[in-house]
Every structure is written in C-alpha cells, then in structure tokens.
C-alpha cells in the first residue's frame, strides 16, 4: 500500500474515531478531573501494522473535554462523544460518531493510556471489540496514535 493511500485511510480512520468519540458521555463524575481533557497533538500513528510517515502521523489534533471530542485532520473537523471505563486494564474508551459526520451512529471501541503529557489510544475501526494491547497488525483495522499534550 502506498503512503498516499495509507494517509487517506488513516485520515478516514481518524475521522471515524473522532466522530464516534463525540456522542458518548464521559463516565467521570462532575467533581472528577478527566485525565483525557485537553488538547493533544499526534506524534505518530499506524494503521494495520503500517506506520504513517511523519507528515501524516503528526497531522492530527484531538481535543477532549467532558465526554466530547473534536479531531482535526488536515484542517477537517470531526466531532462526537466518548465514554471512559478506567476500571478495565487497559482502560477503555467507547466512542460514538456524532450526527452529520462521516461516522454518524458508529461505535468505535478503543483502549487508552494517559500520563501527564502523553496519551496513547488504540482504536478498533472495525467497531468489534476494544483492542487487547497497544499494537496493530497487518490485516486488521486497528489504529494506534501517540499524542503529546499541547500547552494551553
């Protein structure tokens, strides 16, 4: 697969992911600080075992707050909701595509790991089950993105 095709597939996958994330409310209680809240810039990405070239893998901005997300990929926004399940190992995200977006009504299961300045999310763009680990393999629709927190 050529990188241009991979880039289009990645952008489509990210758009799907972002759309799914914006329609599911967060499980965090009103007084809890959401560790995912903030703006994140991708530093690398891979889909189905193929690593995106830096020009593509660093082109996603993800903003998450109060169960809503927005992703910008090449300047194109995608919005939706997400729900966090931090009791599982690894922690899970359930993303739902928002109305009017490319992933409207689609659910995307994912896993995440967050530290103060880094976020790792592995999505199953096939919508089947949350991935078991933070890696992708050929022939799957697993999408792994590493993000760094942007200064606010």
CA distances from 146 to 59, 104, 110, 120 (A): 12, 24, 13, 5
Per-residue confidence in pLDDT tens, the chain, 152 aa: 444 444 444 444 444 344 333 333 333 344 457 889 999 999 999 999 999 999 898 999 999 999 999 888 877 778 899 999 999 999 999 999 888 666 778 899 999 999 989 999 999 999 999 999 999 999 999 999 999 999 87
In whole angstroms, give the CA distance from residue 72 to residue 69: 10
Which residues contact residue 23 at a Cβ distance below 8 angstroms, ignoring those fewer than 6 apart?
Answer: 80, 81, 95, 96, 97, 98, 99
User: Which domain CATH number covers 105?
Assistant: 2.40.128.280
- Per the structure, how many domains does the chain have? 1
Q: Give the global pTM.
A: 0.78
Q: Which domain holds residue 87?
A: 3-149
């Amino acid at each position: 697969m050529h990188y241009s095709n991979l880039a289009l597939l990645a952008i489509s996958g990210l758009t799907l992911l972002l759309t799914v994330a914006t329609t599911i409310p967060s499980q965090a209680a009103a007084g809890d600080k959401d560790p995912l809240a903030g703006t994140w810039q991708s530093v690398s990405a891979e889909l189905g075992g193929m690593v995106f070239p830096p020009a593509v893998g660093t082109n996603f901005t993800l903003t998450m707050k109060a169960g809503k997300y927005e992703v910008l990929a090449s300047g194109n926004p995608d919005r939706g909701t997400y729900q966090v399940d931090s009791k599982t190992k690894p922690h899970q995200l359930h993303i739902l595509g928002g109305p009017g977006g490319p992933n409207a009504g689609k659910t995307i299961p994912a896993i995440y790991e967050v530290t103060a300045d880094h976020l790792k999310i592995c999505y199953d763009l096939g919508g089947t089950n949350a991935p078991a680990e933070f890696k992708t393999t050929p022939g799957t629709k697993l999408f792994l993105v590493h993000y760094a927190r942007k200064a606010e």
